[in-house]
Amino acid sequence: MVRGGLARHSLNDESAAFPESFAVTRLQDAIQWARKYSFFAYPFVTACCGMEYFSVSGPRYDLDRFGAALPRFTPRQADLLWVVGTITQRQAPILRRVWEQMAEPKWVMSFGACTSSGGPYDNYAVLQGIDRIIPVDIYIPGCPPRPEAVIDGLIKLQYRVQHERQPQVWANLHGSGRKIE
């Protein structure tokens, strides 16, 4: 029956079986949605990119809307590792140990040119990319990276977390898929 432009459903009508507030989803989708908005970040800050990281973490750029506002200062409570700045050969084993202590699932963001590729420091003391020791999920370009690039990297990480399939083994793989030695 239609009265005044609105359809009335009888109790026997199948379309009225579920009220408008009923939602159906897979458990895995709900878990990934929750992970997407609840990153527990561990900042591994070593050099000049740290100032840009601190500015992005401030109130102007509001990382809380991405679920990454409160940093954790122990790797056992973190699932997102921000590697910010130049990593030397002496720091590489420490960074690897921090990554190994993190809870699963875990993600890594390479923040800036020095972290991603060694930057302008092409010498024996600087690690030429952290992907040689740990797998990297997101690379943020720049020297130092602009806050907009950092936010774009977070959005891309959120997309990756929302759409990754379980169980997927990412250990010992570089972000491009090549094997880490």
**Considering the entire predicted model, what is its pTM?**
0.72
> Average pLDDT for residues 89-97, to the nearest whole number?
93
| CB 134 within 8 Å of CB 173 | no
Question: Does position 149 have pLDDT exceeding 60, yes or no?
Answer: yes
104 falls within a domain = yes
Q: What DSSP state is assigned to residue 38?
A: -
Report if residue 21 sits inside a domain.
no
**For residue 48, what are the domain limits?**
39-163
Q: How many domains does the chain have?
A: 1
Q: What is the CATH number of the domain that holds 93?
A: 3.40.50.12280
Structure-model confidence comparison of residues 95 and 29, the more confident one: 95
CB 143 within 8 A of CB 149: no
Residue at 149 is within a domain: yes
